[in-house]
Structure 1
Amino acid sequence: MKNASEWILKAMRLVAWIVFVWMLVKAGAIIMSYGASINNPEGAKDLYRGLDLSRYYEASFFHYSVIVFYYILLFLLQAYMALFATRLLSESSLVNLQTEKVSSMLHNVSITALMALIVGIVHNIHVETIAKFAQITADTFSGEYLFMIGLVFAISLLFKKEIDKKTNT
């Protein structure tokens, strides 16, 4: 059974690395597409894999740029969380889970998840406000998606507190 568990953990670490690279590629693709859309309003219609932000571009280039920044920041924060997941799933971290190193990584995950949650909420408030005044339909981040980020934040805080309690006693 130990071999199956080790195999699953190694597979999870590989998946975490794939997610890390995937999120970096998504952020990079949006940066490149945004650069191409600065002088070309048509570029905002398919910013990345069907992401149509042209209605924000037409309403205000400034707001369009801020919304693109939200997407880039969110993908980079997700990549950062995936990087911490790869470190948490490394062999050295799994040998002894009750260490300062693991506690520090969990703290970083919780802070990064909190930042991603705040970016998502600010994005949703921003696009809802623009939609109200520019009379366009809002393109918000999913509430379930934000809930999952909040859940990651809460779970990592709980684990960090437990590790801190056991290492200090």
Structure 2
Amino acid sequence: MKIKTTVILQILRWLAFIAFVGFAIETGAIIISFIVSFRNPDTAKNLYKGLDLHELKAYGNWVYYVAVVFLAFIAGLKSNVWMNVMTMLSHLKFDNPFSPDIIKFLKRISDALIAIWVIGLLYNILAKYLEHKTGNELMNVLAAGNFLFMAGLVFVIMQVFKRGLEIQSENELTV
């Protein structure tokens, strides 16, 4: 049974690594496309994966800059979440699963997910404001509420791990 769990955790660690690399590449691609769009404004038509912010750039540079910064921060925070998951899985020990390190990583993951939610909310507020001002949907609305839900789940798991650490410490003291 232990070998099976070890193999599963190893696979999950590799999947977390792949997700981390993917979101890091996405962050870099958004930033590089954004920088290139200073020289070539037509680049905003296909910023990253078909993301068309050309009309947004035509409406106003400040709105375009803010939107791209929000998108880059969200992608960077997603990368950070997966880096913390990958690191947490590598620090996980079967003989002592409830450790302060695991709780620390869970807290970082929860904080990053809440930050994604806040930035997503700000992005959506900007999108709705622009839609109200122009009558056109210049920006796609993000599903930011999902990140708040995920942050809540990670927070609950963190509380379970905290309680497990307390029980584990009490058991070590009684022996």
TM-score (norm 1): 0.91
Counterpart amino acid of 2:118? I
Q: Which residue in the other structure is 2:92 paired with?
A: 93
| CA distance in 1 between partners of 2:80 and 2:55 (Å) | 30
Residue segments in structure 1 that go unaligned for 5+ positions in a row: none
Classify the secondary structure of the residue corresponding to 1:51. Answer: coil
Q: Is the 8 A contact 1:23 1:79 kept in 2?
A: yes
| C-alpha distance in 1 between matches for 2:131 and 2:83 | 35
Deviation string, structure 1 residues 25-59 (Cα, Å, up to 9, x no partner): 11111111111111322110000110101111010
Query: Where does structure 2 lack aligned partners over 5 or more consecutive residues?
Result: 168-175
Query: Does the 8 Å CA contact 1:127/1:140 hold for their aligned counterparts?
Result: yes
Is residue 33–residue 47 contact of structure 2 (8 Å, CA) maintained in 1? yes
Conserved in 1, the CA contact under 8 Å of 2:124 and 2:142? Answer: no
- What residue in structure 2 maps to residue 133 of structure 1? 133
Deviation at 1:142, TM superposition (A): 3.7
CA RMSD, Structure 1 to Structure 2 (Å) = 1.6
Corresponding residue number in structure 1 for 2:111: 111
Equivalent in the alignment of 2:36:
36
Identity level (%): 22
Distance 1:165 1:4, change over 3 A: closer
Q: Does the CA contact (< 8 Å) of 1:98 and 1:166 recur in 2? A: yes
State how far apart, in whole Å, the 2-side matches of 1:8 and 1:46 are.
Answer: 38
Q: Deviations over 1:70-95 (max 9, x none)?
A: 110000000000001101211x3142
Q: How many residues of Structure 1 are paired with residues of Structure 2 in the alignment? A: 166
Highest Rg: 1 or 2?
Answer: 2
Partner of 1:51: 51
- How many angstroms does 1:138 deviate by? 4.0
Partner of 2:78: 78
Contact 2:117 2:147 (8 Å CA) reproduced: yes
Q: Provide the secondary structure at the position in 1 that maps to 2:49.
A: coil
Equivalent position SS for 1:163: helix
